[in-house]
Amino acid sequence: MTDLAAKASELLRLHHTGETLVLPTVWDAWSAQAVAEAGFPALSIGSHPLANARGQKDNEGMTLDDALDGIRRITSAVDVPVTADVESGYGTPAAELVERVLEAGAAGINVEDTVHSEGRLRAVQEHADYIGALRAAADAAGVELVINARTDALIGRVEKFDDPLGEAIRRSQACEAAGARSVYPVLIPNAEALSTVLSALSGPVNVTAHPVNGAASGSFEELKAAGVQRITFGPLLQVALAEKLTDLVKPWR
């Protein structure tokens, strides 16, 4: 646990260097090793690409045991800190979830407010309370687990809001106050909305980007210039690689 605590502290430090932290999203030991060898100081695991690699479905198509098996294999394969997507927590009490992700070697976790098994979005305070309970459990374990609190308010798939951006900000602010170390309002639509989000929040904001095409809110250089502190790829690195793999093997049909 001492080594993991050091990795969690390092992951937290990397969020506050004044430079944009890019956490390429990996899905197995091979992809994690390849990205680590490229020189990245930390990695992220996405539930979508992990589920794809396991032949399962995202949105709680995996069990917590399934997800932890994948997480453990990845954290065991690299020496850098790894943060892992655990969807909405798989219905697991906060203290138990923290205990189990730490056992699997995760230095951070991504927790969303969409409870897919129930087809609903958590209420603002409900999600903030869960984030706060995770924070308390990690602190009790002596690990500065980097909790990235995700909200799907901008997606509008499970629940639609009259002011999606305002709702995403409200939810992110509540999670910051509860102890999230970064927040993740998914699907920020453009640079203007990104500027509004960054101005409204005090800590790091996670933006998903395509490794080639950037994000809807800007290119890599534009995201850095805007002050984005954290970038992940979600399933998009795996998608981009799959396209290249298809092109590579197609002439051999």
pLDDT-derived band of residue 1, with 50, 70 and 90 as boundaries?
A: low
> Any idea what the CATH number is for the domain that residue 122 is in?
3.20.20.60
Strand partners, 109: 84, 147
Q: What percent of the chain has pLDDT over 70?
A: 100
Looking at residues 35-61, what average pLDDT do you find?
Answer: 97
pLDDT at 46: 98
Range list of β-strands (E), 99-251: 108-111, 114-115, 120-121, 146-151, 182-185, 206-208, 230-232
Q: Which contiguous run of DSSP H or E holds residue 200?
A: helix 191-200
Task: Please say if the pLDDT value at position 31 is more than 90.
Answer: yes
**Tens digits of residue pLDDT in 79-129:** 999 999 999 999 999 999 999 999 999 999 999 999 999 999 999 999 999
Residue 80 is part of which domain span? 2-252
Structure token digits, residue 98: 């923290």
pTM of the model: 0.96
pLDDT at 202: 96
Q: What percent of the chain has pLDDT over 90?
A: 98
Task: Please say if the pLDDT value at position 60 is more than 80.
Answer: yes
Looking at residues 205-214, what average pLDDT do you find?
Answer: 97
pLDDT-derived band of residue 2, with 50, 70 and 90 as boundaries?
A: confident
pLDDT-derived band of residue 155, with 50, 70 and 90 as boundaries?
A: very high
pLDDT at 237: 97
Identify which has the larger pLDDT, 205 or 156.
205
pLDDT-derived band of residue 169, with 50, 70 and 90 as boundaries?
A: very high
Spatial separation of the C-alpha atoms in residues 18 and 36, rounded to whole Å: 21
Nearest Cα to Cα of residue 49 among 208, 214, 230 = 208
Looking at residues 192-216, what average pLDDT do you find?
Answer: 97
Helix (H, G, I), strand (E, B) or coil at 235: coil
Task: Please say if the pLDDT value at position 239 is more than 80.
Answer: yes
Q: Provide the mean pLDDT of the chain.
A: 97
> How many structural domains is the chain composed of?
1
